[in-house]
Amino acid sequence: MPAKPKLTTDEILKAEYNYIASTVFQANEDRSRVTSFYFVTVGSLVATILGTLFSEDNLQGAALAFTGLFIILTGLGALTLAQLARLRAAWHESAQAMNVIKDFYIKHHKEIEPAFKWRLNTLPPTDKPYSIANLMAIEVASLSAVTIAAALYFLFLFFGNIAWWGWVILAATLPLGYLAQWAWYKHLLVDNQ
């Protein structure tokens, strides 16, 4: 019969604490950087457009360029959502791996079981509602819906005055753009991809 592994419960508790602290910090830092970059990029473009609006009487000449820029921003929004989803999934996979280690230690040292809040069966889901990750994704998906509607607006403007049906299409683009971006986020928000 193999010998029982010599484990110091203080060491595993210290390692668990250090792991949780570094994982939480790194995940939040990465998510913050990703979304901040996207928000600054979109904000810079909006400032440019507002500057153009006040300096030119005719925006129609620059409309096609703005269409392209807003399409690029929508693509950047999709990439930002992909990064947010994969960061959340990576955190979840790491937490699952750590829980396997915890279960091993608990099996050999039952007295440490109460020290662990998260176990394989109590780990928060990857798509936990109202988590920071999901709220950031909602912000990015919402902003991406606005950028695709803005791209369509400038495309319509390039061709002349916007008819009433154009405004209906623009209004429909907002929820449809959001739903498309959110579906993309949820598609990527799975473990083991």
pLDDT digits (tens, 9 = 90+) for 38-94: 878 777 777 776 666 655 556 677 788 889 989 998 999 999 999 899 888 888 887
What pLDDT is stored for residue 140 in this prediction? 92
Q: What is the share, in percent, of the chain residues with pLDDT greater than 90?
A: 26
Residue from 62, 80, 88, 58 nearest 139 by CA? 80
Phi and psi at residue 81, in whole multiples of 5°? -65, -40
Q: What is the largest CA-CA distance in the chain?
A: 87
Q: Domain ranges in the chain?
A: 9-188
Can you give the pTM of this predicted structure?
0.77
Query: How would you label 35-46 residue by residue, b for 16+ Cβ within 10 Å and e otherwise?
Result: beebeebbeebe
Q: What is the mean pLDDT of the chain?
A: 82
The single residue listed with the structure tokens 């971006």 is 181
Q: Contact at 8 Å (CB) between 122 and 102?
A: no
Q: Taking the chain, what is the end-to-end CA distance rounded to the nearest angstrom? A: 39
Q: Is the pLDDT of residue 185 over 90?
A: yes
Residue among 42, 51, 97, 44 nearest 72 (CA): 42
> In which residue are the tokens 């005719």 written?
58
